[in-house]
Structure 1
Amino acid sequence: MQSDRFQTDQLLQELLAAETAVWRALQQGDVAADCAALHTDFLGVYPSGFAGRDDHTDQLEQGPSIAQFAIEQARVLSLGPDCALLAYRATYRRISRPVDQNKADQNKDVSEESAMYVSSIWRREDGVWINIFSQDTKALPEGLPNPLP
């Protein structure tokens, strides 16, 4: 039983490191790092609809898209020998860009803090964790009762 707990903790730490690398790529505007973390057949499910790897990396064309982030309440579920689901609550601030990109005097604005719950499925390929699926669910505002049981 001790061994199972250690393996679960180790898996959680490995997936948190992989997921954090995706967030850091968004924070640093690092298209190559974002692309490297996502499988070629990556599927994202977002409030705006479905997205693939190119859609995910395209958000970085103008530079970083996230000013800051935090991963909280992380948990892991093994789905097989080399596949696992990481679920967590993320708080973050997006970077808003001016409508007119040609106006150099306009500064980037940072949005108010937002929160969402994320479920990411990762598969280990050649010893490296690759994100194959992610779904974001907007979190209820603080203090609002949860309508689910």
Structure 2
Amino acid sequence: MNTDMQVETATTKALLRELLAAETAVWTALQQGDIAADRVALHPQFLGVYPSGFAGRDDHTEQLEQGPTVAEFSIADARVLPLGPETALLAYRATYTRPGQTEGEVKGAAMYVSSIWQRQDGGWINIFSQDTEALPEGATNPLP
């Protein structure tokens, strides 16, 4: 049995848990409308790539000036890719609803998210995130 593989697997699992906790904190800030918590989770040079275009840290936090932007959320199919000793990519599928949606409206939207996190001062800070809208359930994937 190769013990190096076990150590790598245990390390990767621990890294995944740490990054999921950090990512969940960002979603929770969006759910609670917590500008300060959102700001502290994002690197000063944060870059977000969204269907609407590029966003920096100030853009990300300013969206909360009108209150929460997410009512409910869940993270699934998470995976981690170490990029270096202090940097890693977290990728996952998020489902969420917006505040004020009624029963007759779509229950939720889904997207795939890729976030790059950097270890700083014993914690993790988000330096990059890209959201890609998920295809509707049952839609044909246009990619090969």
What is the TM-score with the length of structure 1 in the denominator? 0.89
The number of aligned residues is 136
The amino acid across from 2:113 in the alignment is V
Cα distance in 1 for partners of 2:140, 2:119 equals: 38
What do residues 66-86 of structure 1 show as CA deviations (whole Å, max 9, x unaligned)? Answer: 000000100000000000000
> Which residue of 2 is the match for residue 100 of structure 1?
none
Q: Does 1:122 align with 2:117?
A: yes
Q: Which of 21, 40, 44 lines up with 1:36 in the alignment?
A: 40
Cα deviation for residue 142 of structure 1 reads 0.2
Cα distance in 2 for partners of 1:148, 1:10 equals: 33
> Which residue of 2 is the match for residue 131 of structure 1?
126
What is the TM-score with the length of structure 2 in the denominator? 0.92
Residue aligned with 1:133, SS: strand
Q: Does 1:21 align with 2:16?
A: no
The amino acid across from 1:56 in the alignment is H
Q: Does 1:77 align with 2:81?
A: yes
Structure 1 ranges of 4+ moved more than 3 A:
none
Residue aligned with 2:19, SS: helix
> Which residue of 2 is the match for residue 91 of structure 1?
95
Q: Quote the RMSD (CA, aligned, Å).
A: 0.8
Q: Which has the higher helix share?
A: 2
> % of aligned pairs identical?
72
Residue aligned with 1:60, SS: helix
The amino acid across from 2:46 in the alignment is F
The amino acid across from 2:119 in the alignment is R
Cα deviation for residue 49 of structure 1 reads 0.3
Cα deviation for residue 147 of structure 1 reads 2.0
**Runs (5+) with no aligned partner, structure 2:** none
